[in-house]
Amino acid sequence: MKISVPNLGNTSIAAKALFEGLQIDYVLPQVSSKSTLELGSKYSPEEICLPFKIMVGNYIEAMEKGADTFIITGSCGPCRYGEYCELQINILKKLNPKVELIVIDAPGDIGKDELLKRIGKISEKSPLCRQEKLKAVYNALRVINAVDDIEKALRLKAGYEIDRGHCKRILYEFKRRMLVAKGVNEMLSLIKEYKKIVGSVPIDKNRRVIKVAIIGEIYTIIEPFSNLYIEDKLMDYGVSTMRTLYPSWWVKNLAMSPLKLHSIDIRMASKKYLPYYIGGHGRECIGEAVLAHKHGCDGAIQIFPFGCMPEIVSKSILPTISKDKDFPIMTLVVDELTGEAGYVTRIEAFIDLLERRIKKCII
């Protein structure tokens, strides 16, 4: 068994920590690129959403390096994501009949025993005892929480940095070093080292910085290739960004969902505008928009793939929030045909608008 995962932001770093901790053979996905998307599009149904196509491209690239087992997260929800695993396994089986997909789903949907059985499948090739396996899982969780926290801190600090580009350089260097680190212990000491580095970035605390919340469809906002590296672009403009949906958030949300203690703040915030779950993370998008305003952001950018059903519903509600709270919200829709020039122009125009609003308030 050679295991792999599709790209999803920092998930590859956590997967590396987990597989190395369990001492099982693995392949990390290549950084997603245009050729990944082309490869995925070739084998995917034409009308399926963008994340599906990029994921299929990731699988095929990993299969070329010998991967035969993939872990994906599942959903029995009403959007197309509920069909992802069935459709993807059919595509992959045609390329390699021996390939396997392990779907990690919410215990409320598949039952606790089934979830444990699936997790057991991942670790069955590990030579370690039960206690050591649990330690490997614990360390992988520590890694994903810490990596996400470091990224959040750097993206927020980017607006205040004295030396433009400093935070982005640290973030890139940190992730690169994490991906080549040998073993979990080296990864954990890198985390310790970079926490100190992040804390010592020189900043101008008195600067009036533009703060933007990134909201929308979970895959598109977590996986930078699918959103054309929007957060990196905003860092280049000296804009601070905030985002709730990180892989570590997803893990916590999944763990708390059987007790109905997940995303309480988001649920409360979305109550007035969208009190129901509509599939995907449509409700979270609404709650996050309200919270972004409450937490002092100057605006929010919603991003989702073309044809995403839950986010289309959210998109129709966001103008009401924007009007009620006098809070600018821009929507960006991406697909394989999105042109970078037009995309960048829209982001720049939105930042200009926020800048003018801030100046007006100061005058």
Strand partners, 103: 72
Fill in the per-residue mask, 302 to 341: x = in contact with ligand SF4 (CB under 6 A), - = not in contact. ---x--xxxx------------------------------
- Identity of the residue numbered 129: C
DSSP string, 123-156: HTT--S-HHHHHHHHHHHHHHHHHHHHHHHHHHH
DSSP string, 222-269: HSTTTTTTHHHHHHHTT-EEE-S--HHHHHHHHHHGGGT-TTHHHHHH
Neighbours of 136 (CB within 10 A): 21
Segment contacting ligand SF4 by CB under 6 A, of 75-83, 157-165, 173-181, 262-270 = 75-83
Segment contacting ligand SF4 by CB under 6 A, of 56-64, 79-87, 89-97, 117-125 = 79-87
Fill in the per-residue mask, 261 to 300: x = in contact with ligand SF4 (CB under 6 A), - = not in contact. -------------------x--------------------
Q: 219 vs 327, which CB is nearer to ligand SF4?
A: 219
φ/ψ of 104, rounded to 5, equals: -95, 115
Q: 82 vs 238, which CB is nearer to ligand SF4?
A: 82
**Binding of residue 122 to ligand SF4 (CB under 6 A):** no
**Among residue numbers 38 through 57, which ones bind ligand SF4 (CB under 6 A)?**
49, 51
**Binding of residue 105 to ligand SF4 (CB under 6 A):** no
In the chain, the largest separation of any two C-alpha atoms, in whole Å, equals: 67
Compute the C-alpha angle 182/187/190, nearest 5°. Answer: 120
Nearest distance, CB of residue 72 and ligand SF4, angstroms: 12
Binding site residues, ligand SF4, CB under 6 A: 49, 51, 79-81, 217, 219, 280, 305, 308-311
